[in-house]
Amino acid sequence: MAEGVQHFDVVVIGSGAGGGTVAHALAGTEARVLLLERGQMLPQEAENWDPAAVWQQQRYRPDETWLDRSGREFRPFVHYVVGGNTKFWGAVLYRLRADDFDPVEHADGVSPGWPIDYATLAPWYDRAEALYQVHGDPQDDPTEPDRGPYPYPPVQHEARIGRLVGRLREQGLHPSYLPLGLRDPGLPGGCILCSTCNSFPCRIRAKSDSDTMCVEPALEADNLTLWTGARAERLVTGADGRRVEAVDVDLGGERVRVHASTVVLAAGAVNSAALLLRSASDRHPDGLGNSSGLVGRNYMAHLSTMMEAFHPWEVNPTVFQKTVGINDFYRAGNGYDYPLGQIQSQGRAHGAIVQAVMPALPRWASNAWVARGVDWLALSEDLPRPSNRVLVQADGRIRVDYTPNNLRPHRMLVGEVARMMRRAGFWTVVRHSFKVQNTTHQCGTLVFGHDPGTSVLDPFCRSHDVENLFVVDASFFPSSAAVNPGLTIIAQALRVADHLKTNDLDLSAERAR
Ligand SMILES: Cc1cc2nc3c(=O)[nH]c(=O)nc-3n(C[C@H](O)[C@H](O)[C@H](O)COP(=O)(O)OP(=O)(O)OC[C@H]3O[C@@H](n4cnc5c(N)ncnc54)[C@H](O)[C@@H]3O)c2cc1C
Ligand code: SF4
């Protein structure tokens, strides 16, 4: 496949939320685009929806370990396939709240402002929601930023959840519909609103992931080429170090050098930082694009706790449960001096998932337990710290030195969920956190900003140091906010693609070289 093809106008590395979206935006242009994906196409098979295969056998997780700050190995919660982590996401596609773009005072310090404001990104949020078919309703959410209607109506709560929402409203809370990226939910040929969505791939390709919504349709254009099993190993610069000239790729075990006029890196916040560190050279001794010393630093991943409200006599018949968001504690107020975070209902737990966390529990007991539970996720913002960082060891292994912060407000948020559930009639609420091993919302390792001394990328995600290098995955986040990151990655990827098309893809000049 690689033979004879050695130069592309744009090489995009990684096909997840950022990379898949950029590839889609460049499809049909005059640019010859190569999309490199280290994984393969995910097969559509019975195991897609099998909790034991996904959670216990970890069928779709790479056989790769990273090291934590103590040097202990852990298996990161990542997926190397076409579509990346979006194949497994819950497709909860929130915009950041307008004030997330400003500095915000938190219990453990100030969450920094972004170099762009909400109004700047809003037009691309509109396009991102249309592209990923987001269903929602801005009415009931007290934190929803200024916006028009969602492109698609919200997914309605099932009966049990609808009654619970009523009980939460009686407590003075403001539960709202979760914004969800699903294709034709409940309609013939569309999403069947099943119980194996979040953390599972969709067997019928009805989830709005970047493979289904972007890569597959983009491949119909003849200017896009996809290489799977193609792991970018190193970016090679010219003699002056100002431009990337080529990408060294491990293509199924064979080393291939691909020349590129523009490189768009989107390998995920940890792998993108690692790739730049591995691309050190005489001109860039501390890693490519690292004159600020910030490549790999300020790693964030959200504080998250999975919770299950339990009632021994009430079986929960809900199938698709992920429809409710509660943002009453997103900002200071409601009795708290600082923001606590975001609450959302989760996909249904399954006995096999509980057993993956508590292997000693017999299957009948875990099945009986989850049948009587309603599942929730509490998410809080963690703050950027230079000491929380991604490193590449001398032996090439990735190490994530991460000490979580802002824990107190997260504990308070978890306490609020437990209390609101008990007030709503549940007997008890169990909780579990994967802590440092939860890399699902990784971000912040290559922050964007105006000042080359305090950021790695400019506000269009171009490297301050390397003029034809862009990064469009979650690395650019200066703060993690407390809503799910996906839609913001997609919106910024669309914005960067427009910028590229206008400012960088001078194709006639490229071809004349
Ligand atoms: C179980 C789960 C549930 C989630 N739920 C939600 C949700 O409901 N809402 C939400 O907004 N977010 C959710 N997320 C997070 C969301 O999926 C990520 O924030 C998002 O996918 C990150 O996009 P990205 O472009 O940064 O990286 P990714 O989507 O991870 O894509 C990176 C891609 O790069 C590839 N790659 C890596 N290294 C290389 C290399 N060297 N060469 C070539 N290719 C490479 C990877 O294989 C992958 O395809 C969830 C994540 C998980 C795992
Ligand atoms: S059918 Fe719908 S709910 Fe089920 S996995 Fe697919 S997108 Fe998710």
Q: How many CB atoms lie within 10 A of CB 33?
A: 25
pLDDT value for 173: 98
Question: Going by CA atoms, what residue is nearest to atom 4 of ligand 2?
Answer: 194
Establish whether residue 204 lines the binding site of ligand 2, counting it when its CB lies within 6 angstroms of any ligand atom: yes
- Please state whether beta strands 104-106 and 469-471 pair in parallel, antiparallel, or not at all (unpaired): unpaired
Q: Kindly identify the ligand whose nearest atom is closest to the C-alpha of 212.
A: 2
Q: How many CB atoms lie within 10 A of CB 432?
A: 14
Mutate to test the pocket of ligand 1, among 13, 85, 250 (most ligand atoms within 8 A of CB): 85
Instruction: Write out the two tokens for 478.
Output: 């200066």
**Residue 508, pLDDT above cutoff 60:** no
**Residue 389, pLDDT above cutoff 60:** yes
Tell me 214's DSSP state. Answer: I
Cβ-in-10-Å burial (0-12, 13-18, 19+) of 191 comes to buried
| Residue 412 CA, ligand 1 centroid: distance in Å | 29
Establish whether residue 288 lines the binding site of ligand 2, counting it when its CB lies within 6 angstroms of any ligand atom: no
Question: Going by CA atoms, what residue is nearest to atom 4 of ligand 1?
Answer: 89
- Residue 366 counted as domain residue: yes
- Residue 139 counted as domain residue: yes
Establish whether residue 11 lines the binding site of ligand 1, counting it when its CB lies within 6 angstroms of any ligand atom: no
Measured CA to CA, the distance from residue 21 to residue 32 in angstroms comes to 16
H/E element, 185: none
| Residue 500 CA, ligand 1 centroid: distance in Å | 22
Establish whether residue 256 lines the binding site of ligand 1, counting it when its CB lies within 6 angstroms of any ligand atom: no
Least-confidence region, from 108-117, 120-129, 323-332, 431-440:
431-440
pLDDT value for 63: 94
221-260 as b/e, with b when 16 or more CB fall inside 10 Å?
A: eebbbbbbbbbbebbbbeeeeeebebbbbebeeeebebeb
Establish whether residue 182 lines the binding site of ligand 2, counting it when its CB lies within 6 angstroms of any ligand atom: yes
- Residue 1 counted as domain residue: no
**Residue 44, pLDDT above cutoff 70:** yes
Expressed as residue numbers, the domain containing 484 is 7-512
- Residue 18 counted as domain residue: yes
Establish whether residue 485 lines the binding site of ligand 1, counting it when its CB lies within 6 angstroms of any ligand atom: yes
* pLDDT, the chain, mean: 95
The alpha carbon of 106 is separated from its chain's Cα centroid by a whole number of angstroms, namely: 23
The DSSP-derived string for 298-344 is: S-B--EEEEEEEE-TT-----S--TTEEE-TTSSSBTTBSS---EEE
- Residue 92 counted as domain residue: yes
**Residue 46, pLDDT above cutoff 50:** yes
pLDDT digits (tens, 9 = 90+) for 55-107: 999 999 999 999 999 999 999 999 999 999 999 999 999 999 999 999 999 99
Establish whether residue 197 lines the binding site of ligand 2, counting it when its CB lies within 6 angstroms of any ligand atom: yes
Q: Which amino acid type is present at position 169?
A: R
Measured CA to CA, the distance from residue 489 to residue 93 in angstroms comes to 10
pLDDT value for 1: 43
Mutate to test the pocket of ligand 2, among 44, 207, 320 (most ligand atoms within 8 A of CB): 207
pLDDT value for 507: 52
Question: Going by CA atoms, what residue is nearest to atom 8 of ligand 2?
Answer: 197
Cβ-in-10-Å burial (0-12, 13-18, 19+) of 96 comes to buried
pLDDT digits (tens, 9 = 90+) for 162-198: 999 999 999 999 999 999 999 999 999 999 999 999 9
End-to-end CA distance of the chain: 25
Establish whether residue 371 lines the binding site of ligand 2, counting it when its CB lies within 6 angstroms of any ligand atom: no
- Residue 451 counted as domain residue: yes
* Domain count along the chain: 1
Nearest by Cα to 278 from 254, 292, 295, 259: 295
Q: Kindly identify the ligand whose nearest atom is closest to the C-alpha of 486.
A: 1
pLDDT value for 152: 98
- Residue 2 counted as domain residue: no
Q: Kindly identify the ligand whose nearest atom is closest to the C-alpha of 62.
A: 1
Establish whether residue 232 lines the binding site of ligand 2, counting it when its CB lies within 6 angstroms of any ligand atom: no
pLDDT digits (tens, 9 = 90+) for 394-415: 999 999 999 999 999 999 999 9
Going from the C-alpha of 15 to that of each of 215, 225, 268, 278, 474, the distances in angstroms are: 7, 12, 10, 20, 13
Question: Going by CA atoms, what residue is nearest to atom 11 of ligand 1?
Answer: 486
Confidence band of 6 (pLDDT split at 50, 70, 90): confident
pLDDT value for 356: 87
Measured CA to CA, the distance from residue 18 to residue 475 in angstroms comes to 10
Confidence band of 17 (pLDDT split at 50, 70, 90): very high
Going from the C-alpha of 510 to that of each of 222, 261, 507, the distances in angstroms are: 19, 7, 5
Establish whether residue 473 lines the binding site of ligand 1, counting it when its CB lies within 6 angstroms of any ligand atom: yes
pLDDT value for 506: 66
Question: Going by CA atoms, what residue is nearest to atom 48 of ligand 1?
Answer: 84
**Residue 5, pLDDT above cutoff 80:** no
pLDDT value for 512: 44
The CATH number of residue 368's host domain is 3.50.50.60
Measured CA to CA, the distance from residue 194 to residue 185 in angstroms comes to 10
Nearest by Cα to 1 from 224, 220, 227: 227
Q: Kindly identify the ligand whose nearest atom is closest to the C-alpha of 489.
A: 1
Establish whether residue 184 lines the binding site of ligand 2, counting it when its CB lies within 6 angstroms of any ligand atom: no
Confidence band of 513 (pLDDT split at 50, 70, 90): very low
Per-residue pLDDT, averaged over 350-374, amounts to 91
